[in-house]
Amino acid sequence: MNRIEVCFSPGEYHLYEADFQLVVVLDVLRATSAICTAMEHGVKEIIPVATVEEARTLQAQGLLAAAERGGQIVDGFDLGNSPYSYMKPEMKGQTVVLTTTNGTKAINMAKDKDTVVIGSLNNLDALCAWLIEQERDILVLGSGWKDKFNLEDTICAGAIADKCLESGRFFADEDSTVAAKFIFRSSRDNMFAFLKASSHRRRLRKLNLNDDVKYCLTPNNCTAIPILKNGSLVRLNHETVESASV
Amino acid sequence: MNRIEVCFSPGEYHLYEADFQLVVVLDVLRATSAICTAMEHGVKEIIPVATVEEARTLQAQGLLAAAERGGQIVDGFDLGNSPYSYMKPEMKGQTVVLTTTNGTKAINMAKDKDTVVIGSLNNLDALCAWLIEQERDILVLGSGWKDKFNLEDTICAGAIADKCLESGRFFADEDSTVAAKFIFRSSRDNMFAFLKASSHRRRLRKLNLNDDVKYCLTPNNCTAIPILKNGSLVRLNHETVESASV
């Protein structure tokens, strides 16, 4: 039996991470949904950086760069973290530098682990099928909002924990995992309505991003599993599955 | 309108505390349930200290001292944090020094605030009636387990938030508050069963403390509201209500 646990946000990562070398990072609204979508639609590589300054430096070196803060595209960048912007044909084969309020911070926090993969509701079933095959202990890390708990990442983390636990090959010890699974099960039939009261939904509604929210809450419209390799996110395909399990 | 929010554990207190001068501290299993019970049964004063060493020092000075770590009474002490031990007739009028794994740490963390009161399921209705009267912003702080989220404090925090919000005099902004309220509403008809999967229930079951758990999960068997005054917890009664609102 392997263990799977949920850590709600980067602020608590230090309390949970010691037992795990495989971390799944989530930022459902919208960074990791955008990353999964990008890989699905042929983006070759995403370089997650923690700060806008790093993104600017790499942009000045000629790289395509995307930056989001507080839900909006940062001045001086053409791309943010809307999944739709990564579906465009001209994005195929591109390398993109990406910094976001919460998601890229969480990815960078986990980067010393043997394996870091990117999750979302969009790639839920494909990701869980792969996770179950690994026979390793798994930490699911929500990006939260500025180190605080958020509902949408918790729902997605609960969905991943639930699917893995249902395989019969995992156990969970933490109350955070029990709560995430419970919140997922209670919300799965109507996540959009369930999240009406959530703080980030309110934030994005003000910015007219309801279409993005609906997309991000749609399970299984992708099969891509992004994985961190030498500081870049690339698509994990069947050829690389073996080498991913260090 | 005033604001009420839930902070799951001391580890996230710094993210939430800035906006609040009235903090409710919870450690349902078992420190704050024991403190409410003690005040209800006539204990005069409880001095919460963060460390076993402080408790030993005050014990050596002749004070009655109680110490719990990992669910058990610490060697050299006669009392821990079982509510039943504070109901005994010989406890009436006593001053007790108390240190526990999580609860007294959370109380000490909040001690610089204008008002710190102690909550539990045991004093739920009396506490909420008083909170609603105050017309102040309220932070409900769970003690968690070693800075991690726990289910029982979240249920109780959700119950307090739910009652205050239902009065129509409060609003909430944080996802943690939405989640706590939801978990309370889902569990209220059978908390004991709901908590079966919780980590601390398992910990206490091993120690044969099921009677304590049942007592702590019984709403409204107390009306006492303990309040922190000059470093000591005393019973808030009608005479002190005015001076409590600084």
Per-residue pLDDT, averaged over B193-201, amounts to 82
In A, which residues are within 8 Å of B185 by CB distance? Answer: none
- Is residue B99 within 8 A of residue B68, CB to CB? The reply is yes
Distance of CA A71 to the CA centre of its chain: 16
Beta bridge partners of A2: A170
Q: How far apart are CA A176 and CA A173, in angstroms?
A: 9
Q: How far apart are CA B200 and CA B205, in angstroms?
A: 8
Q: A21-30, A91-100, A102-111, B187-196: which range is least confident on average? A: B187-196
**φ, ψ (nearest 5 deg) of residue A185:** -60, -35
Per-residue pLDDT, averaged over B80-84, amounts to 95
Per-residue pLDDT, averaged over A15-37, amounts to 97
In a 3-state reduction of DSSP, which class is residue B169? Answer: coil
Q: Does A149 touch chain B (CB under 8 A)?
A: yes
Which pLDDT value is given to residue A209? 87
Q: Does A20 touch chain B (CB under 8 A)?
A: no
In A, which residues are within 8 Å of B150 by CB distance? Answer: 175
Q: Does A173 touch chain B (CB under 8 A)?
A: yes
**Does the pLDDT at position A2 exceed 70?**
yes
The answer to whether the Cβ–Cβ distance between A151 and B11 falls below 8 Å is no
The answer to whether the Cβ–Cβ distance between B179 and A148 falls below 8 Å is no
**Does the pLDDT at position A141 exceed 60?**
yes
Per-residue pLDDT, averaged over B229-235, amounts to 97
Higher pLDDT, residue A194 or A176 = A176
Of the candidates A94, A109, A194, A207, the one whose C-alpha atom is nearest the C-alpha of residue A152 is A194
3-state helix, strand, coil in chain B (%, to 5): 45, 20, 35
Which pLDDT value is given to residue A203? 79
Taking CA–CA distances from A150, the nearest residue in chain B reads B175
Taking CA–CA distances from A151, the nearest residue in chain B reads B175
The answer to whether the Cβ–Cβ distance between B15 and A174 falls below 8 Å is no
Written as six digits, the tokens of A137 are: 């202990």
Written as six digits, the tokens of B243 are: 């001076």
**Does the pLDDT at position A245 exceed 90?**
no
Q: Does B175 touch chain A (CB under 8 A)?
A: yes
**Does the pLDDT at position B32 exceed 60?**
yes
**Does the pLDDT at position A173 exceed 70?**
yes
Higher pLDDT, residue A71 or B141 = B141
Which pLDDT value is given to residue B168? 98
DSSP B118: E
Beta bridge partners of A48: A98
The band of A243, judged by pLDDT with boundaries at 50, 70 and 90, is very low
The model's pTM is 0.93
Which pLDDT value is given to residue A206? 79
The answer to whether the Cβ–Cβ distance between B149 and A200 falls below 8 Å is no
Which pLDDT value is given to residue B48? 97
ipTM comes to 0.92
Average pLDDT for chain B: 93
Which pLDDT value is given to residue A16? 98
- pLDDT above 70 covers a percentage of chain B that reads 96
How many CB atoms neighbour CB A201 within 10 A?
22
Residue A24 CA neighbour count, 13 Å, CB half = 34
* Amino acid occupying residue B223: T
Which pLDDT value is given to residue A208? 80
Q: A133-142, B90-99, B134-143, B189-198: which range is least confident on average? A: B189-198
Higher pLDDT, residue B7 or A240 = B7
* String of DSSP letters for A130-149: HHHHH-S-EEEEE-TBTTB-
- pLDDT above 90 covers a percentage of chain A that reads 86
Residues across chain A: 246
B118-164 confidence digits (pLDDT tens):
999 999 999 999 999 999 999 999 999 999 999 999 999 999 999 99
* Amino acid occupying residue A246: V
Q: How far apart are CA B164 and CA B169, in angstroms?
A: 7
Beta bridge partners of A234: A227
CATH, range A2-235: 3.90.1560.10
Q: Which of B146, B149, B173 sits opposite A179 (nearest CB)?
A: B149
Q: How far apart are CA A228 and CA A4, in angstroms?
A: 20
Pairing of strands B72-73, A225-229: unpaired
Higher pLDDT, residue A45 or B209 = A45
Written as six digits, the tokens of A203 are: 């934030």
**Reported CATH class of domain B2-230:** alpha beta
Residue B116 CA neighbour count, 13 Å, CB half = 24
Burial class (CB in 10 A: 0-12, 13-18, 19+), A242: exposed
**Does the pLDDT at position A241 exceed 60?**
no
In B, which residues are within 8 Å of A140 by CB distance? Answer: none
Interface test with B, best of A13, A14, A17, A178 (most B CBs within 10 A): A178
How many CB atoms neighbour CB A227 within 10 A?
21
Q: How far apart are CA B165 and CA B172, in angstroms?
A: 8
The answer to whether the Cβ–Cβ distance between B149 and A182 falls below 8 Å is no
Of the candidates B68, B99, B95, the one whose C-alpha atom is nearest the C-alpha of residue B82 is B68
Per-residue pLDDT, averaged over B71-94, amounts to 95
Average pLDDT for chain A: 93
Q: Does B178 touch chain A (CB under 8 A)?
A: yes
In B, which residues are within 8 Å of A150 by CB distance? Answer: 175
**Does the pLDDT at position B165 exceed 90?**
yes
- Is residue B15 within 8 A of residue B184, CB to CB? The reply is no
Q: Does B235 touch chain A (CB under 8 A)?
A: no
The band of A244, judged by pLDDT with boundaries at 50, 70 and 90, is very low
Per-residue pLDDT, averaged over A165-192, amounts to 95
Residue the block writes with tokens 């207190």: B13
DSSP B172: -
**Does the pLDDT at position A242 exceed 50?**
no
Which pLDDT value is given to residue A124? 98
B105-117 confidence digits (pLDDT tens):
999 999 999 999 9
A110-137 confidence digits (pLDDT tens):
999 999 999 999 999 999 999 999 999 9
Taking CA–CA distances from B174, the nearest residue in chain A reads A199
* String of DSSP letters for B7-62: E-SGGGHHHHGGG-SEEEEE-TTTHHHHHHHHHHTT--EEEE-SSHHHHHHHHHTT
* Sheet of strand B95-99, all strands in order from the earlier edge strand to the far edge: B72-73, B64-69, B95-99, B45-48, B232-236, B225-229, B115-119, B22-26, B138-142, B2-7, B170-171
Q: How far apart are CA B59 and CA B51, in angstroms?
A: 13
- Is residue B113 within 8 A of residue B25, CB to CB? The reply is no
**Does the pLDDT at position A25 exceed 80?**
yes
Q: Does B171 touch chain A (CB under 8 A)?
A: no
